[in-house]
Amino acid sequence: MLIERPAQPAPSLRQMLADFGPIYAANGLIGFIFAATGPLAILMSVGSEGGLSQAQIASWVFGCFGVNGLLSILASWYYRMPLTFFWTIPGAVLVGSALSHLSFAQVVGAYFACGLLMLVLGLSGWVRRLMQALPMPIVMGMVAGVFMRFGVDLIHALRDDLALAGPMVLTFVLMSVLPLGRRFPPLFAAILVGVVLIVAQGSFDASGMRGATIAQPVFQAPEFAWQAMFELVVPLAITVLIVQNGQGFAVLDAVGHKAPINMATTGCGVWSLLTASVGSVSTCLAGPTNAMIASGGDKSRHYTGAILVGLLAMGFGLFSPLFTKLMLSSPKAFIATVAGLAMFRVLQTAFTISFRDRFTLGALVAFLVTVANVPIWNIGAPFWGLVFGYLISRLLERPDFAATQASRTAD
């Protein structure tokens, strides 16, 4: 069968409780805090700028956390390894750009199509070929172009509200330098400083806190438009399978976990169909969160930390309207600063991978086309960034393709 079988039977409840311990609880909590801070701020920024209502954004959060939390629990339990699933961050940013000229129903239609595509790739085993077909530097060049605006927005936040953004950035830098930052996430420290300043300044808009606090998913009927299909489906699938899942497989492999690639792809496909029904962007294997879960302790017990993350995510999703209101009632500079700090290292990594070795010209073209944000035939720039970047590399960087193929053959 193409779907991988677990190396050993799934653990019983008694076995899970025996395997659980303080170090796995701490690693799981840190991983969840990461997912529920910076990435959530990015989602809020994208949803707000895309013109979505508060109810639609809360439903999006419910799908990203509550629905994906269930997949995290099931996969981690069945395979006895940390397999935490959340949502594709670059895919969410792609959607934010698309919402300027596509309806939300058309975007949701692209979610469904992307889920079906990933399901086919996972069940057929073709996903490995896809992951090898597109050079990673070109993909990351596109990703760097997509993420660029978060860095720019961080600078604008410092310009527009230095009293709030300045101390947050300073805290992030100091915690990144001090040894304490290894145990206490710098981004979380920056958020705490921001919350204290918001309270002290009285800049929190309490009027936005009215209404329900328990999840009330908004079921969005999809509209299948060709423009949305061309613009979003392939780039979304690439961000999931190559950018996000590729990173997740790498971090797990580094600590000795042989992740089930076909199962993860199939799971992303099925769960993307489920989350699409409530307006959430496609599901992916979470690289940073899984890395934090597997950062210490006995490898055979890492799965318990992932199950804890899944449980916390389901609880977070249950109260998604409350957390959505808290974020949207905060000053815009707060969200921009948190999102910018969360993307800081990610943007650095994207540039490093893009311009480190091979395919640098194609990566540059992909980056420039994406940043220029000029649609062609009403299809967004990120798609064309990939297309033109790949074509330029095929024409002008043929030795890089030959060298890559030779290295794969040698392996």
390 within some domain: no
407 within some domain: no
Pairs from 247-252 (Cβ < 8 Å, separation ≥ 24)? 247/287, 247/288, 248/284, 248/285, 248/286, 248/287, 248/290, 249/285, 250/287, 251/287, 251/288, 251/290, 251/291, 251/294, 252/81, 252/82, 252/290, 252/294
What is residue 374's predicted lDDT score, i.e. its pLDDT? Answer: 83
pTM: 0.76
What is residue 349's predicted lDDT score, i.e. its pLDDT? Answer: 78
Top-ranked range on mean pLDDT: pick from 138-142, 215-219, 306-310, 343-347: 306-310
**Local confidence band at 208 (pLDDT 50, 70, 90 cut-offs):** low
Containing H/E element for 351?
helix 332-354
What is the separation of C-alpha 256 from the centre of its chain, rounded to a whole number of angstroms? 23
Task: Residue 137: name the closest of 374, 388, 318, 390 by CA.
Answer: 390
Residues of the domain holding 311: 13-344
Strand partners, 86: 284
353 within some domain: no
What is residue 410's predicted lDDT score, i.e. its pLDDT? Answer: 66
Task: Residue 238: name the closest of 410, 390, 407 by CA.
Answer: 390
What is the separation of C-alpha 288 from the centre of its chain, rounded to a whole number of angstroms? 9
* Mean pLDDT within 290-298: 82
Q: Which residues of 294-321 are buried (b: 16+ CB within 10 A; e: fewer)?
A: bbebeeebbbbbbbbbbbbbbebbbbbb
Please report, rounded to a whole number, the percentage of residues in the chain having pLDDT higher than 90: 41
d(CA 170, CA 156): 16
d(CA 11, CA 242): 30
Count CA atoms closer than 13 A to 291's CA, side-chain side.
14
Count: domains in the chain? 1
405 within some domain: no
How confident is the model over 334-379, as pLDDT tens digits?
A: 888 887 887 777 788 788 888 988 999 999 999 999 898 887 776 6
How confident is the model over 209-257, as pLDDT tens digits?
A: 666 678 889 998 999 999 999 889 988 998 888 878 877 887 788 778 8
Sequence-distant (≥ 6) Cβ neighbours of residue 34 within 8 angstroms: 185, 187, 188, 288, 289, 292
Q: What is the CA radius of gyration of the chain?
A: 21
Tokens, residue 319:
């109260």
What is residue 338's predicted lDDT score, i.e. its pLDDT? Answer: 82
Tokens, residue 321:
């309207």
What is residue 211's predicted lDDT score, i.e. its pLDDT? Answer: 66
370 within some domain: no
290 within some domain: yes
360 within some domain: no
Sequence-distant (≥ 6) Cβ neighbours of residue 409 within 8 angstroms: none
**Local confidence band at 144 (pLDDT 50, 70, 90 cut-offs):** confident
d(CA 87, CA 285): 8
* Contact call for residues 312 and 72 (beta carbons, < 8 A): no
H-helix segments, 125-135: 127-133
Sequence-distant (≥ 6) Cβ neighbours of residue 192 within 8 angstroms: none
Count CA atoms closer than 13 A to 218's CA, side-chain side.
19
What is residue 378's predicted lDDT score, i.e. its pLDDT? Answer: 64
How confident is the model over 51-66, as pLDDT tens digits?
A: 899 889 999 999 999 9
287 within some domain: yes
Residue 200: C-alpha distances to residues 159, 164, 165, 177, 196 (Å): 20, 10, 14, 27, 6
d(CA 93, CA 89): 6
User: Mean pLDDT for the chain?
Assistant: 87
Residue 394: C-alpha distances to residues 239, 355, 357 (Å): 21, 17, 16
What is residue 108's predicted lDDT score, i.e. its pLDDT? Answer: 96
**Local confidence band at 397 (pLDDT 50, 70, 90 cut-offs):** very high
* Contact call for residues 335 and 164 (beta carbons, < 8 A): no
* Contact call for residues 269 and 121 (beta carbons, < 8 A): yes
* Mean pLDDT within 191-200: 90
